[in-house]
Amino acid sequence: MAIERIKVLGVPVDVCSSEDFENEIMELLARSGAKQIVFLSVWGLLKARGKNNFAECVENADLVLPVSKSIIKGAAFLQKKVPSRYNMFTTVINLLSILDSHLKTLYMLGGRKKVLQKSRNNVKKTFPNLNIVGCYVGYYPRSMEDNIIQAIYKASPSMVLVSDGIKEKECWAYNRRNRFSNSIFVYYKDAFGIFSEHTKRVKETTFEKGLEIFQEILRNPLKIFLIFPFLYYKLLLVWYRVFKK
């Protein structure tokens, strides 16, 4: 494969250029079994350093794409090969475009009923060659889970796009990976909110400057306290640079 997996503070991050992205996706689609693409933020990276379910999910993901500018800078500071940074929204759109151009299939999981329905309609309009083989809302009762898993297994979609309302987030697919046949799973919390025009996406210029955290703080002022884990991340980088060469 064209990608190279590096470790940033002991956490896997994939170096995959935008030019190689489509080929990597087609290679994933050709493989049997459940596959997973994980979008990794700096907060996710810190969480993945521990011994927990999310850390296992990241370690076993088929593609780990960094979304935080801090991870890119961290890799450079540690004198690693510098990965490309991925915008979650544009990457998901790119994924859908790849599936559309190759006449593939999609299953949509998450969101409230109206949000999911509008998202489905908008995706169908934008990607007419993409066959949506099923969808189910998030926030579902536990009694429905076996039916959802069975529906995804039978439909065997090329990709399952998981959005809000799925309690285990990225780990939902990982924890059930042996119950699926042949799909790529991608979790993006805001996907259906943006598709249905209920949620504003981060502007490209804001993302390029690495300032998307301020939009998150506007949504939830308590996220101002993320400054403390961010400072811890910086200290860890210095520690690794000095003592872990």
Does 109 lie in the same domain as 28?
Answer: no
Residue 155 domain flag: yes
pTM here is 0.93
Dump the DSSP string for 147-183. HHHHHHHHH--SEEEE-TT-TTTHHHHHHTGGG-SS-
Q: Which domain holds residue 18?
A: 1-86
Does 137 lie in the same domain as 69?
Answer: no
Residue 194 domain flag: yes
Does 198 lie in the same domain as 96?
Answer: yes
Residue 70 domain flag: yes
pLDDT on residue 60: 97
Nearest to 92 by CA among 186, 219, 209, 197: 186
pLDDT on residue 154: 96
Distance of CA 12 to the CA centre of its chain: 14
Q: How far apart are CA 26 and CA 102, in angstroms?
A: 9
pLDDT on residue 45: 98
pLDDT on residue 245: 57
pLDDT on residue 220: 73
Specify the number of domains making up the chain: 3
Does 142 lie in the same domain as 121?
Answer: yes
Does 101 lie in the same domain as 40?
Answer: no
Provide the pairing of β-strand 63-66 with 35-40.
Answer: parallel
**Cβ–Cβ under 8 Å, residues 156 and 181:** yes
pLDDT on residue 140: 96
Which of 67, 86, 105 delimits the end of a domain? 86
pLDDT on residue 68: 96
Does 169 lie in the same domain as 69?
Answer: no
Does 51 lie in the same domain as 72?
Answer: yes
Residue 44 domain flag: yes
pLDDT on residue 84: 96
Residue 207 domain flag: no
Mapped onto helix, strand or coil, the DSSP state of residue 146 is helix
Write out the chain's pLDDT in tens, 245 residues.
568 999 999 999 999 999 999 999 999 999 999 999 999 999 999 999 999 999 999 999 999 999 999 999 999 999 999 999 999 999 999 999 999 999 999 999 999 999 999 999 999 999 999 999 999 999 999 999 999 999 999 999 999 999 999 999 999 999 999 999 889 999 999 999 999 999 988 888 887 877 777 777 777 787 787 889 899 999 999 999 998 75
Does 25 lie in the same domain as 60?
Answer: yes
**Cβ–Cβ under 8 Å, residues 81 and 21:** no
Residue 41 domain flag: yes
